[in-house]
């Protein structure tokens, strides 16, 4: 039993193996990045395989394939949207990120086994539903874990690293799925998946949270401070009655302040009422809209004008994956100067590059080079947006806590904040393919490109104006918007707390 405790940190009285390494920032960010990479990889790897699996393994007629594929996409989105707020609430409520990361891993493994083996459509639906639930755990709990584990001045850089994993998984998933299925068959696709899952299992089991490090270190005997503690006890016992009364007054005031910070309004609602949070979630919707709109339409466009096969269409996203490597650098920029300028600049610069995607219109080499050049420049813009958006969500919660300590209760609100982020990005991922697909069908790809460009430009305005607070604040500086009125407690509760402090003071006066 002691061996199990040392391996899995199940007993607070038994120090785990390699405690400092397992709770290090390197292991934590690697684990979360790999989890995000796996989520996007497994989501994308099924996309080119699913139509063939429906026909060859489940007997679906060719005429109904598109309908069944749409059902699978909807089920994944339903699992993601439904589970995100649940994981956000639970991980804040129980303050155990690692537990819910493990639950997500179980869902991911179960989903992969089902998708690999089943020949029945309703089981395939369950597999996709479990994939959505796993994604909710990774994106909600994983990002909250990053925020817990690093100081505020490094959050953007860490989010940039996670964003790199997202881009690589999103690029490699469809590409590897199509190539492996074409060259080695259905089971080879999932053989690769199980290999990545094995690495994911290792890191999620190996990783410990920062709070685990503090817990086990605090449980160790500290002989150096023993004498200081004894002296402190004697000092307290010898304190005067006046000092004791002063301490009681301070304690009562602290209790009254804590009462003032409590509210019957749910944390999620208070987050949504925050103007900076609402702006960040709106920009996240637009980001998901633009990215998935292009992901849906570019492969068909490349097949139409370049005669690209599945491999060629997948290679279109290589420039975006490569430029995502700049995510940590953009995160450093965001940490040092705020998320306003990288986020606003990203949306603004993406506008012309999206619109100019209408220019390549035949299969000449120069036109193919032009397409890849435009996608590289678009990828640079995207590398500015994603880490900055995630950092802004984190900073909103951090600033609110700094302004009013304890406003979100003991568990904080990072899990629920990133649950809302997940919901927002998922909503954009639903809008994007629908809007882009409809415009392409009705008016063609060229019209679609400028509509997405306009959407990106419109998003750049609130990105510059409201990210980090209203830009035209007092004294010409950006006004930090913690929305104390909206996010704090009801005025009646505050008044009650103030009256409690006054009563304590009046009793002290009478005693004197």
Q: For residue 427, give every residue at least 6 positions away whose Cβ sits within 8 Å of its Cβ, in sequence order, or none.
A: 81, 285, 288
Predicted local distance difference test score (pLDDT) of residue 493: 44
Q: 143 with 285, same domain?
A: no
- The reply to whether 459 and 316 lie within a common domain is yes
Confidence at 66, pLDDT banded by 50, 70, 90: low
**Average pLDDT of 288-292?**
89
Q: Which of 310, 301, 321 is nearest to 371 (CA)?
A: 301
* pLDDT tens sequence across 268-279: 888 888 999 999
500 burial class (0-12, 13-18, 19+ CB within 10 angstroms)? middle
Give the Cβ contact number of residue 461 at 10 Å. Answer: 12
Structure-token pair, residue 3: 């061996």
Give the domain-ending residue among 195, 217, 239.
Answer: 217
Is 340 in contact with 461 (CB distance < 8 Å)?
no
CB distance 487 to 274 below 8 Å: yes
3-state secondary structure of 467: coil
Residues contacting residue 151 through CB under 8 Å, at least 6 positions apart = none
Check pLDDT > 80 for residue 371.
Answer: yes
The region that residue 18 occupies, defined by phi over 0 for left and psi between -120 and 50 for alpha, beta otherwise, is left
Q: Whole-angstrom Cα distance, residue 351 to residue 433?
A: 18
State which residues form the domain around 475. 265-488
- Say how far apart CA 158 and CA 400 lie, in whole Å: 21
Residue 164 near residue 75, CB atoms below 8 Å? no
Q: List pLDDT tens digits, range 103-149.
A: 999 999 999 999 999 899 999 999 999 999 999 999 899 988 998 88
Confidence band, pLDDT 50/70/90 cuts, at residue 218? low
Residue 141 makes CB contacts below 8 A (sequence gap 6+) with: 87, 88, 91, 97, 100, 101, 104, 415, 418
Is 245 contained in some domain?
no
43 plus 153 within the same structural domain: yes
Instruction: Kindly report the CATH number assigned to the domain that includes residue 374.
Output: 1.20.1250.20
Residue range 29-59, pLDDT digits in tens: 999 999 999 888 888 888 778 888 888 888 8
Name which of 79-93, 182-196, 219-233, 301-315 the model is least confident about.
219-233
Does 274 lie in the same domain as 195? Answer: no
For the chain, the domain total comes to: 2
Question: Is residue 506 one of the residues assigned to a domain?
Answer: no
Q: Is residue 507 part of a domain?
A: no
Whether residue 168 is found in the same domain as residue 281: no
Give buried/exposed letters for 393-408 (b at 16+ CB in 10 A, else e).
bbbbbbbbbeebeebb
Same domain, 63 and 195: yes
Dist. CA 466–CA 480, nearest whole Å:
9
Packing angle of the helix pair 97-117, 65-94 (nearest 10 deg): 160
- List 470's β-bridge partners, or say none: 479
Enter the tokens of residue 93. Answer: 């409520």
pTM listed for this prediction:
0.77
pLDDT tens by residue, 372-407? 999 999 999 999 998 899 889 989 988 888 888 878
| Interatomic CA distance for residues 68 and 75, integer angstroms | 11
Under the banding of pLDDT at 50, 70 and 90, the label for residue 223 is very low
Is 4 part of a structural domain of the chain? Answer: no
Q: What does the alpha-carbon distance between residue 206 and residue 209 come to, in Å, rounded to a whole number?
A: 10
Q: Residue 244 falls within a domain, yes or no?
A: no
- For residue 221, what pLDDT is reported? 55
159/332 Cα distance (integer angstroms): 10
**How long, in residues, is the chain?**
512
Mean pLDDT, residues 236-250: 42
* Percent share of the chain, pLDDT over 70: 82
| 253 band by pLDDT with thresholds 50, 70 and 90 | very low
End-to-end CA distance of the chain: 60
Residues 82 and 174 in one domain: yes
Determine the pLDDT at residue 62: 78
Among residues 267, 244, 247, 264, which one has the least CA distance to residue 255?
247
pLDDT at residue 506, rounded to an integer: 52
- The pLDDT value given to residue 251: 46
Q: CB count, 10 Å around CB of 325?
A: 16
Domain boundary among 217, 237, 257: 217
Provide the CA 262 distance to its chain's centre, in angstroms.
Answer: 27
| Euclidean distance between CA atoms 156 and 158, whole angstroms | 5
- More reliable by pLDDT, 496 or 18: 18
| Domain shared by 98 and 197, yes or no | yes
Report how far residue 500's alpha carbon sits from residue 252's, in angstroms, rounded to the nearest whole number. 8
Q: Is residue 254 included in any domain, yes or no?
A: no
Examine the domain organization and report whether 320 and 410 are in the same domain: yes
* 370: in domain: yes
Yes or no: say if 389 and 290 are a contact pair by the CB < 8 Å rule. no
Dihedral in degrees, nearest 10, Cα atoms 486, 491, 493, 495: 140
Q: Is there a single domain that holds both residue 205 and residue 304?
A: no
Instruction: For residue 286, tell me if it sits in a domain.
Output: yes
Q: Do both 269 and 211 map to the same domain?
A: no
Q: Are residues 192 and 299 in the same domain?
A: no
**In the 3-class helix/strand/coil scheme, how is 346-400 assigned residue by residue?**
HHHHHHHHHHHHHCCCCCCHHHHHHHHHHHHHHHHHHHHHHHHHHHHHHHHHHHH
Q: What's the burial of 108, exposed, middle or buried (CB within 10 Å: 0-12/13-18/19+)?
A: buried
Q: Does the pLDDT value for residue 357 go beyond 80?
A: yes
């Amino acid at each position: 039993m002691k061996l199990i405790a040392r391996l899995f940190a199940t007993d607070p009285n038994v120090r785990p193996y390699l405690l400092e390494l397992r709770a290090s920032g390197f292991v934590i960010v690697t684990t979360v990045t790999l989890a995000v990479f796996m989520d996007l990889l497994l989501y994308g790897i099924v996309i080119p395989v699913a139509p063939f699996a429906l026909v060859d393994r489940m007997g679906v007629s060719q005429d109904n394939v598109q309908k069944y594929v749409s059902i699978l996409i909807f089920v994944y989105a339903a699992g993601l949207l439904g589970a995100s707020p649940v994981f956000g609430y639970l991980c804040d409520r129980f303050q155990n990120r690692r537990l819910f990361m493990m639950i997500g891993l179980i869902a991911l493994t179960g989903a992969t086994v089902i998708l690999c083996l089943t020949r029945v459509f309703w089981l395939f639906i369950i597999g996709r539903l479990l994939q959505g639930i796993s994604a909710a755990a990774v994106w909600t709990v994983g990002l909250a874990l990053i925020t817990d584990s690093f100081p505020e001045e490094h959050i953007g850089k860490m989010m940039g690293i996670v964003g790199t994993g997202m881009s690589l998984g999103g690029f490699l998933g469809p590409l590897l799925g199509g190539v492996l299925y074409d060259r080695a068959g259905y089971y080879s696709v999932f053989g690769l998946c199980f290999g990545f899952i094995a690495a994911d299992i290792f890191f999620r089991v190996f990783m410990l949270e920062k709070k685990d490090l503090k817990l086990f270190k605090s449980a160790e005997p500290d002989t150096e401070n023993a004498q200081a503690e004894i002296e402190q006890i004697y000092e307290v016992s010898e304190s005067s009655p006046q000092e004791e009364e002063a301490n009681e007054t301070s304690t009562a005031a602290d209790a009254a302040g804590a009462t003032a910070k409590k509210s019957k309004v749910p944390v999620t609602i208070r987050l949504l009422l925050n103007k900076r949070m609402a702006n960040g979630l709106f920009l996240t919707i637009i980001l998901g809209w633009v990215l998935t709109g292009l992901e849906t339409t570019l492969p068909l466009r490349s097949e139409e004008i370049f005669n690209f096969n599945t491999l060629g269409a997948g290679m279109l996203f290589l420039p975006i994956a490569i430029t995502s490597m700049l995510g940590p650098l953009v995160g450093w920029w965001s940490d040092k100067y705020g998320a306003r300028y990288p986020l606003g600049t990203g949306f603004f610069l993406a506008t012309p590059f999206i619109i100019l995607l209408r220019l390549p219109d035949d299969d000449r080499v120069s036109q193919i080079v032009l397409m890849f050049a435009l996608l590289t420049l678009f990828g640079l813009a995207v590398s500015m947006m994603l880490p900055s958006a995630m950092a802004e969500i984190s900073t909103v919660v951090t600033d609110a806590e700094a302004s009013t300590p304890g406003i979100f209760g003991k568990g904080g609100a990072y899990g629920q904040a990133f649950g809302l982020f997940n919901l927002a990005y998922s909503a954009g991922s639903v809008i994007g393919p629908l809007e882009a697909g409809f415009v392409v069908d009705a008016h063609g790809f060229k019209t679609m490109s400028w509509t997405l460009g306009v959407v990106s430009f419109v998003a750049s305005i609130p990105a510059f104006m409201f990210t980090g607070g209203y830009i035209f604040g007092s004294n010409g500086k950006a006004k930090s918007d913690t929305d104390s009125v909206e996010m704090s407690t009801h005025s009646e509760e505050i008044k009650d707390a103030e009256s409690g402090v006054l009563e304590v003071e009046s009793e002290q006066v009478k005693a004197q």
